[in-house]
Amino acid sequence: MDLTDLLLWGVFPYIVLTIFIGGHVYRYQKDQFGWTTKSSEFLEKKRLRIGSLLFHWGIIFVFGGHVLGLIIPVSFYNALGITEHMYHVIAITFGVPVGIAALIGIILLTYRRISIKRIKATTSTSDWVTLIFLILAIVTGLIATSLNVDSNGFDYRTTIAPWLRGLFIFNVQPELMATIPIWFKIHIYATFALYVVWPFTRLVHAFSFPVKYLRRSYVIYKKRIPQTKKVSEESSI
């Protein structure tokens, strides 16, 4: 086996994974109070809402698509009678629009950060790095998908997917990645860059989604009647 392939697809992924997991543990130990979205909602709401909704819903569906394509084995689809062509058509029809939604969302969020003075002033280097790496991951994913529309015999469910799953069970198979189209390689490495910086950015909030909030009781806010008004109301009785 080629040494470069072994390094690229058998060694570096574990270095990335180690930084990702170790980085989160380190950050949790050292900076629990900084473990936040660093929300800027109180500085500007309107543009945030549309950008954030598009990006987050887009990326949630992109994630769902990745689970369907990379985690669920091809044998499952075969057993259901879903052919390669059917799978590919469904993946493109749903994958591309949600990827574009995520891209438009992140572009709007970046524009908001550049164009609003006080948001720009509160944006750190790690925020800029996060935005750039997110855009790179999404753009390269979309390019790889678009160039693979007529798949030409390439099926990532029999190459990239088993390679990825193999990493998690220490069944390293770099040979599966040797001949995949270049844009998929670039896409995967763009996402590696994202995983390396992830623990040191506000992206950590992805692991602290307040699920309990969905079930907790509402917090009831009541209007306060000013003291003077209250006294005059009472004296008039």
Tokens at residue 191, please?
């996402």
Per-residue string for binding with ligand HEM, 191-230, x by CB under 6 A?
A: x--x------------------------------------
Site for ligand HEM in 73-102 (CB under 6 A): 91, 95-96, 98-99, 102
Q: Smallest distance, Å, CB 127 to ligand HEM? A: 16
Q: Which range binds ligand HEM by CB under 6 A, 46-54, 72-80, 139-147, 222-230?
A: 139-147
Mark out the alpha helices in 31-159 (DSSP H runs). 46-66, 74-79, 84-115, 117-121, 125-147
Report whether 92 contacts 142 (CB < 8 A): no
Q: Which residue has the tokens 């950050």?
A: 27
Q: How far apart are CA 61 and CA 230, in angstroms?
A: 52
Q: How far apart are CA 83 and CA 207, in angstroms?
A: 35
# residues contacting ligand HEM (CB under 6 A): 27
Report whether 35 contacts 82 (CB < 8 A): no
Which one, of 103, 89, 109, lies nearest residue 136 by Cα?
103
Please report whether residue 119 would count as binding ligand HEM according to CB under 6 A: no
Contact with ligand HEM (CB under 6 A) among 48, 108, 119, 188 = 188
Between residues 43 and 136, which has the closer beta carbon with respect to ligand HEM? 136
Per-residue string for binding with ligand HEM, 163-182, x by CB under 6 A?
A: -x------------------
Using a 10 angstrom Cβ sphere, with 0-12 exposed, 13-18 middle and 19 or more buried, the burial of residue 157 is: buried
Which residues are at the interface with ligand HEM (CB under 6 A)?
Answer: 62, 65-66, 69-70, 91, 95-96, 98-99, 102, 134, 137-138, 141-142, 144-145, 148, 156, 160, 164, 184, 187-188, 191, 194
